[in-house]
Amino acid sequence: MKIQKKQAGFTLIELITVVSMLALLTIFIAREMGQSSDDIKLNLVATVLVSGVPAAIIADKATNAGNCTPALTQAQLITRGVPTKTPWGEDWTASYKADDREITVTYSLKGVRKVSDAIDKLIALMDDSSVFIAKPEKSGNNIVAKYSC
């Protein structure tokens, strides 16, 4: 009579099954983390546009006897605390129209997975804010916000 030995390890099928499950779990977790990352970055953009840019405008006015200067450009806003790049590493622009006393900030959202959805979400996040002349708008892969000076 033969005595069967107990199995001393896992079979190949068991190992493949476990590795496949771990791979699927990793894919789902990585995808969710990527989405969370975009959500965090969108909140950061909303913070910059709702409080960072207006604070920089107020700081510029305070140093110029309550008036905005024609030199109020992106460089001036950056020296007053607005980040130099978007959270995705893209450039943004700012321009000042002295006739209307209006500052237009064009913020690039290149690098976001679904730009159109992200811009809609961003506009909804900033909907209640009164710092803008008009509701921010989308323009291609950018969001355009206008401020009064």
Query: For 30-86, what is each residue's pLDDT tens digit?
Result: 766 655 677 888 889 899 999 899 988 888 888 877 777 777 788 888 888 899 999
Residue 122 has pLDDT above 70, yes or no: yes
pLDDT of residue 1: 60
Q: CA of 31: how far to CAs of 9, 44, 49, 89, in Å?
A: 33, 20, 27, 21
Q: For the chain, report the end-to-end CA distance as a whole number of angstroms.
A: 97
29 vs 87: which has the higher pLDDT: 87
How many Cβ atoms from other residues are within 10 Å of residue 45's Cβ?
25
Residues of the chain with pLDDT > 90: what percent? 14
The per-residue pLDDT of the chain, averaged, comes to 83
Amino acid at 118: A
Amino acid at 46: A
Residues of the chain with pLDDT > 70: what percent? 91
